[in-house]
């Protein structure tokens, strides 16, 4: 027989000071496995609810906190194993690869965790949201340990709203700013060397001048000119002396 129930009208209500933050192993072994094999649960703290019958923001409970549900997987096609995860306003889409959940003591594989993201609209052109779902299922058990009454369709879902950090918001702003430049707005380029080119044509500064860079450039320029003049004069003299 199950212990005291902390769920009322599908909403989790714990006494003040209590929090429900189980690990992945605890969710699989202590709750999902007991649910699948019709064993007593540690506490009636996770309600039964079909998560695909409602949008994530309409599910029971406080949407600003993590919410847990026992749900069943519905097959999308009669002859396939693909689950149907469409809701009224969108659909849940799997992302990445499934994560293996092992027992801490025996290092035995006990379950799998699938990560899904909610998209608004119709597939495959939906818009991504910040709603995340972790779907837990049991690992494949031997034939002798098959769940009774086709309970293998039970899964445990953890749904939460991912909070954006200030860094990600800044990156989004920069991406939008870059997109606006591609919509006909031309970037402005500044020629920072224009003033330096103009300074090269000025008279050489004195040694007491504070700008050593301009003095060196002007001095080099003058030396180069003197070298060119000396070379031209030498060439002219050589031509005159040639018989």
Domain ranges of the chain: 7-171, 194-241
Which residue matches tokens 């027992």?
103
Per-residue pLDDT tens over the stretch 36-89: 999 999 988 999 999 999 999 999 988 888 999 999 987 655 555 667 789 999
pTM over 0.75: no
pLDDT category at 214 given cuts 50, 70, 90 is very low
CATH number belonging to domain 7-171: 2.170.150.80
Characterize 177-188 residue by residue with b for buried, 16 or more Cβ atoms within 10 angstroms of its Cβ, and e for exposed.
Answer: eeeeeeeeeeee
Which residue matches tokens 């002396």?
241
């Amino acid at each position: 027989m199950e212990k005291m129930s902390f769920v009322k009208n599908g909403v989790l209500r714990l006494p003040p000071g209590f929090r429900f933050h189980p690990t992945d192993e605890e969710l699989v072994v202590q709750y999902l496995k007991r649910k699948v094999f019709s064993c007593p649960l540690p506490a009636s703290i996770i309600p039964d609810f079909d998560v695909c019958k409602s949008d994530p923001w309409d599910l029971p409970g406080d949407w600003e906190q993590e919410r847990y549900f026992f749900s069943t997987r519905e097959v999308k096609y009669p002859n396939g194993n693909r689950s149907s995860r469409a809701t009224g306003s969108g659909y849940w889409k799997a992302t990445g690869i499934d994560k293996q959940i092992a027992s801490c003591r025996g290092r035995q594989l006990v379950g799998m965790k699938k990560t899904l993201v909610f998209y608004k609209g119709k597939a495959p052109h939906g818009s991504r949201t910040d709603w995340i779902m972790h779907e837990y299922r049991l690992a494949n058990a031997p034939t002798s340990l098959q769940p009774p009454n086709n309970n293998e369709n039970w899964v445990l879902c953890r749904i939460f709203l991912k909070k954006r950090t200030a860094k990600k918001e800044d990156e989004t702003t920069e991406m939008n700013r870059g997109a606006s430049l591609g919509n006909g707005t031309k970037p402005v380029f500044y020629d920072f060397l224009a003033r330096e080119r103009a300074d090269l044509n000025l008279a050489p500064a004195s040694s007491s001048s504070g700008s050593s860079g301009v003095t060196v450039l002007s001095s080099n320029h003058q030396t180069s000119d003197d070298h060119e003049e000396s070379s031209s004069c030498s060439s002219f003299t050589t031509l005159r002396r040639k018989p």
